[in-house]
Amino acid sequence: FFSRDHHHPSETSFASSVLIHQLPSNMSTQFITRIINHVVNEVLVKGLAESRTFQRFAVRTQSHVEEAKKVGTDYMTQSIEQFENMTAEEVAKAGPPLPPLRGMPGFFSAFSKEVRKDLGMGK
């Protein structure tokens, strides 16, 4: 592209020479990477879809998730009912409200409150 006869080597910028020499290899590397990713994804998905072990794992995981969801919903419903049934006197005995939880427990607490509100279960 650039001949040394017409230009002194210092006149050709390093960036332009790098771009000229790396452009085709970057494009081919990206292409090869996409092909490899596609082939690996196809093999992996088909292999897992046909695997009895993976199917059993998926079914067990789904049942555990459903059970955890049911237990969590039951606990939240019970807690809400207990709170709603408290009298003003019991509330006064309980003292001032606690600050919100921090970290992951705080996140899940706030998240469950928002979900309850969205589902019309909260006040």
d(CA 53, CA 56): 5
pTM value is 0.39
The pLDDT assigned to 19 comes to 46
**pLDDT tens by residue, 20-48:** 455 456 778 889 999 999 998 888 888 98
Q: Are 110 and 100 in contact (CB under 8 A)?
A: yes
d(CA 77, CA 83): 10
**pLDDT tens by residue, 88-116:** 777 777 778 778 888 888 899 889 888 88
